[in-house]
């Protein structure tokens, strides 16, 4: 079933060692941009719907680089605009699929199924949005509960962050994002090994 979540979180802390400032600063810029746009009445929601995919892809690329100890730069959060159409398509398709699945099963199951989509897009700029969603669904087969449990591990930290008047979230967000990136890489590696065998 892959590497234990506690070990993935430890690996995330190690990957962030000496890079907390960069990670916090980058996510802060991302939050200010997205928050600023969403604060615009009506038009902000439309704009965010259009550019949300590109920003999600950019942030995913940034956190994957941090996770893999590769060069990570703030400007990478804008890199998703280089693959704008695919990022937008993936963003919209994910939203539609999750909403449609909510009619049949809890939407969280669909959200978990498609959770690797932007990591797949960040790794392969030639893949289509629909193929990335399909691949994510295949990758997450049998791993949705493990990923859900990884997310649950951060709830306690989030409650502690509230006690710090929200300041702790500046550390928690990079920690969460890099841990999720570690989950993706571990999942990808295990499935590659399974294919070889």
Structure confidence by residue, pLDDT tens digits, 144-161: 999 999 999 999 999 999
pLDDT recorded at residue 1: 65
pLDDT band at 108 (very low <50, low <70, confident <90, very high): confident
pLDDT above 80: residue 197: no
> In 3-state terms, what secondary structure has residue 121?
helix
> How far is Cα 90 from Cα 3, in angstroms, rounded to an integer?
28
Return the closest-CA partner of residue 122 out of 70, 87, 160.
Answer: 87
| 12 within 8 A of 178, measured Cβ to Cβ | yes
pLDDT band at 195 (very low <50, low <70, confident <90, very high): low
User: Mean of the pLDDT values across residues 58-84?
Assistant: 96
> How far is Cα 21 from Cα 17, in angstroms, rounded to an integer?
10
pLDDT recorded at residue 157: 92
pLDDT recorded at residue 172: 95
* The model scores a pTM over 0.85: yes
Return the closest-CA partner of residue 172 out of 148, 149, 156, 186.
Answer: 156
pLDDT above 80: residue 25: yes
More confident residue, 111 or 2: 111
> How far is Cα 119 from Cα 183, in angstroms, rounded to an integer?
10
């Amino acid at each position: 079933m892959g590497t234990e979540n506690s070990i993935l979180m430890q690996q995330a802390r190690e990957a962030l060692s000496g890079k907390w400032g960069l990670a916090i600063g980058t996510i802060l810029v991302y939050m200010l941009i997205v928050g600023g746009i969403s604060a615009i009445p009506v038009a902000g929601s439309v704009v965010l719907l259009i550019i949300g995919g590109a920003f999600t892809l950019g942030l995913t690329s940034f956190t994957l680089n941090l996770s893999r100890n590769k060069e990570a730069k703030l400007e990478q959060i804008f890199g998703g605009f280089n693959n704008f159409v695919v990022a937008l398509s993936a963003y919209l398709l994910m939203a539609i699929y999750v909403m449609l699945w909510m009619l049949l099963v809890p939407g969280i199951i669909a959200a978990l199924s498609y959770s690797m989509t932007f990591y797949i897009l960040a790794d392969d700029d030639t893949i289509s949005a629909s193929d990335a969603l399909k691949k994510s669904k295949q990758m997450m087969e049998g791993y949705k509960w493990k990923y859900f449990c990884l997310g649950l591990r951060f709830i306690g930290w989030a409650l502690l962050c509230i006690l710090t008047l929200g300041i702790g979230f500046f550390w928690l967000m990079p920690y969460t994002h890099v841990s999720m990136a570690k989950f993706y890489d571990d999942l990808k590696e295990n499935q590659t090994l399974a294919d070889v065998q």
